[in-house]
Amino acid sequence: MKRVQDTLPPYVKVENGELWLTEDDRENLKISYRIKDVIFSEPSEFQHVMILDSYDFGRMLVLDGVVQTTSIDGHIYNEMISHIPLQLHPAAKKVLIIGGGDCGAAREAAKYPHIEEIHMVEIDEKVVQACKAHLQEVSGNLSDPRVKFIYDDGVAFVREHKNEYDVIIIDSSDPVGPAEALFSRDFYANVRRALKDDGLMVCQSQSPIFHLDILRRTYNNIGELFPHVKVYTATVPTYPGGLWSFTIGSTKPLSFPEQAAIPADTKYVNEGILKQCFELPQFLKTALEKR
Ligand code: SAM
């Protein structure tokens, strides 16, 4: 009979009768989570897709051994990547999400009644199906008719669309594998062309602690393409380093409306968060001043 550990990828192991996921972040940093149960585990055309039930973070989406989002802290990231740009563009009608397979960002965007269409371009249909079926704390089993799922490479998709979207949210995995090109200057140039004249974009730009080089490159690339660029942060416990960054590029100066209209059921974003999220620690201000 096959034992459970024989069918699992090597980063999920049974040790002393306990199941552990070890995320291999880098040579000198590995993060382990004790796992109650393997809910879903299948390779897709692009990556290995798992939904695990962990002791401290509840259910989590794991792609190629990297934790993407969890029941406990997924709302922090998903609210920050969606409500901040949607508050800065309070009249958005057409929104594009690139990546975002856990459906959390689309679920947050769908809370705005004035948004007419949300196009979600995710390369891997298996991630969406797994999260809708087994990670409803994050996906909410999203079935809003304004959300159109398009299974395609975000890089190719933006090349074909001009002057179409009010807000583009780039909710990508780390810059390895299929997501690598989502961090390139060419891609951001096409994102700019896919936006309407008064549109804005946001992307997750990695850890200011561990990936400052990627954050600086992203900030500089976006700053060369858009007249207005700004970084904001939030703390997401399951992302290495905790502190996480998001970068906005906009054709118009960035300011929140006098009267913020934040959906009633957010768990993280509120008016205070809008006021402080662009306040950066000194090391980060200094790093971003160097072009
Ligand atoms: N919140 C997460 C984080 O920062 O770790 C990421 C959210 S989401 C799960 C990232 C998604 O981007 C994945 O489902 C992945 O399949 C998708 N993705 C990666 N490369 C892509 C591409 N080139 N086009 C569209 N989607 C892509």
My answer on whether 147 and 237 are in the same domain is yes
My answer on whether 48 and 97 are in the same domain is no
Is residue 82 exposed (0-12), middle (13-18) or buried (19+ Cβ within 10 Å)? buried
Q: Which whole-number Å values give the CA distances from 142 to 59, 130, 204, in the listed order?
A: 17, 12, 22
Residue 268: CATH number of its domain: 3.40.50.150
Q: Is 49 in the pocket of ligand 1 (CB under 6 A)?
A: no
My answer on whether 86 and 60 are in the same domain is no
My answer on whether 10 and 93 are in the same domain is no
User: Of the residues 172, 176, 235, which should be mutated to test ligand 1's pocket, given the most ligand atoms within 8 Å of the CB?
Assistant: 172
* Closest by Cα among 63, 137, 67 to 103: 137
117-135 pLDDT per residue, tens = 999 999 999 999 999 999 9
Quote the ligand 1 centre to 3 CA distance (angstroms): 31
Is residue 25 part of an annotated ligand binding site? no
Is residue 144 part of an annotated ligand binding site? no
Q: Give the residue, by CA position, lying nearest to ligand 1 atom 1.
A: 68
Predicted pLDDT of residue 63: 97
34-91 pLDDT per residue, tens = 999 999 999 999 999 999 999 999 999 999 999 999 999 999 999 999 999 999 999 9
Boundary (domain end) residue, out of 70, 91, 111: 70
Q: Tell whether pTM > 0.85.
A: yes
Predicted pLDDT of residue 268: 98
Q: Give the residue, by CA position, lying nearest to ligand 1 atom 12.
A: 99
Quote the ligand 1 centre to 259 CA distance (angstroms): 33
My answer on whether 38 and 92 are in the same domain is no
My answer on whether 270 and 137 are in the same domain is yes
My answer on whether 102 and 245 are in the same domain is yes
Predicted pLDDT of residue 88: 97
User: Of the residues 123, 153, 190, which should be mutated to test ligand 1's pocket, given the most ligand atoms within 8 Å of the CB?
Assistant: 123
My answer on whether 170 and 260 are in the same domain is yes
* Closest by Cα among 243, 218, 256 to 85: 256
Look up the domain containing 59 and give its range: 4-70
Q: Is 194 in the pocket of ligand 1 (CB under 6 A)?
A: no
Predicted pLDDT of residue 116: 98
Is residue 47 part of an annotated ligand binding site? yes
Boundary (domain end) residue, out of 24, 55, 70: 70
Question: Which positions ≥6 away from 11 have C-beta within 8 Å?
Answer: 21, 22, 23, 24, 65
**Number of domains the chain is built from:** 2
My answer on whether 22 and 78 are in the same domain is no
Mean pLDDT of the chain: 95
My answer on whether 192 and 234 are in the same domain is yes
Q: Give the residue, by CA position, lying nearest to ligand 1 atom 5.
A: 68
Q: Give the residue, by CA position, lying nearest to ligand 1 atom 6.
A: 173
Q: Is 250 in the pocket of ligand 1 (CB under 6 A)?
A: no
Q: Is 74 in the pocket of ligand 1 (CB under 6 A)?
A: no
pLDDT for residue 6 is more than 70: no
220-233 pLDDT per residue, tens = 999 999 999 999 99
Residue 47: CATH number of its domain: 2.30.140.10
- Is residue 166 flagged as an active site residue? no
Boundary (domain end) residue, out of 36, 70, 104: 70
pLDDT for residue 291 is more than 70: no
DSSP string, 41-74: EEE-SSSEEEEEEETTTEEEEEETTEEEEETTTH
DSSP string, 122-163: ES-HHHHHHHHHH-HHHHTT---TTEEEEES-HHHHHHT--S
pLDDT band at 287 (very low <50, low <70, confident <90, very high): very high
pLDDT for residue 15 is more than 60: yes
My answer on whether 102 and 55 are in the same domain is no
Residue 250 and residue 204 in contact, taking contact as beta carbons nearer than 8 Å: no
In 112-147, which positions are buried (b, 16+ CB within 10 angstroms) versus exposed (e)? beebeebbbbbbbebbbbbbbebbebbbbebeeebb
My answer on whether 59 and 169 are in the same domain is no
